[in-house]
Chain A
Amino acid sequence: MKKDELIAKLKTIIAPYIQDEEAFKDLSEDTDFVKDLKINSANLVDIILDIEDEFDIRLENEDMEQMLDVKSAMAIVNSKLEA
Chain B
Amino acid sequence: MVGNDIVDLKEAEKASNWQRPRWLDKLFTISEKQLIHNSENPFVMVWRLWSMKEAAYKLFIQTNPSRFYNPKGFECSISDNSGVIEFKAFKCFVQTKITSNYIISEAHLEHQKLTSEIMKFTTADYNKQSKELKSRLMEFVGRLHHLKKNEFGVPTLYNGREALNVSLTHHGCYGAYAIG
Contact = CB atoms under 8 A, between A and B. Distances in A.
Interface residues of B, number: 23
A46 interface: yes
Interface residues of A, number: 21
B69 A68 contact: yes
Given A40-B171, A45-B26, A64 B16 contact: no
B26 A49 contact: yes
Contacts of A46: 16, 20, 23
B73 interface: yes
Interface string A51-83: 010000000010011111000000000000000
Q: In terms of DSSP, what is the predominant structure of the interface of chain A?
A: helix
B91 interface: no
Contacts of A19: 126
A35 interface: yes
Contacts of B54: 41
B127 interface: yes
